[in-house]
Amino acid sequence: MSTTPRRTLMSALTLIGALLFAATTLTVSAPGALAAATPVASASTSTATAPAPMTARARAVAFGARVVKIASSRRGSPYVYGGSGPHRFDCSGLTMWTFNRLSRHLPHSAAAQYGRTRHIRARDRRPGDLVFFHDGGGIYHVGIYAGHNEIWHAPYPGARVRKERLWTRSVYYGRVR
């Protein structure tokens, strides 16, 4: 191959590579419309990309994970009637203290907390939601849903904060706003 055709071939390949790279950095913002996107990092570039903004669902899941982590940090703390932490808790005191650490303020009563949550169906529950136990006449206990049909709670006098499987279907679920 002579020098001129080789240069032409190399120029064409470089142009094709540049076009392919440009195509990977464009996104469709509306049907038929192209908009420049944040550059995508690849082996051929050293530009780092900014993380994509979190969706509302992703933020809610991350918030729920923080709720569960904070509640689990109180594992082994003794139940004391009226206790609201940081070392002794009753059921609503544990939930109140946990959410207070995340700048969400709840009253110190399971029934009052139920009134301050958005009520959700069992199939919509996710870790970090509150689980309210009822007996038909009122709400008598609250815990924090941990996933896999388990809750973190301060169960009763003489017991300690622990994770436990749900033992009844007589529960309501609420999401702290």
pLDDT digits (tens, 9 = 90+) for 145-171: 999 999 999 999 999 999 999 999 999
Enter the tokens of residue 52: 């994509």
The Cα angle at residue 125 between residues 122 and 128, in degrees rounded to 5: 140
The Cα angle at residue 129 between residues 82 and 56, in degrees rounded to 5: 135
All CATH 3.90.1720.10 domain ranges of the chain, comma separated, are 56-176
Active site residue 141: yes
pTM: 0.71
Active site residue 91: yes
Residue from 65, 63, 99, 72 nearest 154 by CA: 72
Using pLDDT thresholds of 50, 70 and 90, give the confidence band for residue 47.
low
Which entry of 105, 119, 141, 148 is annotated as an active-site residue?
Answer: 141
pLDDT digits (tens, 9 = 90+) for 71-123: 999 999 999 999 999 999 999 999 999 999 999 999 999 999 999 999 999 99
* DSSP per position, 59-97: HHHHHHHHHHHHHHTTTTPBB-TT-BSSS-B-HHHHHHH
The answer to whether 149 touches 166, Cβ cutoff 8 Å, is yes
Q: Residue with structure tokens 């958005």?
A: 118
Q: Count the Cβ atoms, other than its own, within 10 Å of residue 93.
A: 24
Please state which of the four CATH numbers 3.40.50.300, 3.40.50.2300, 2.40.30.170, 3.90.1720.10 is assigned to the domain occupying 56-176: 3.90.1720.10
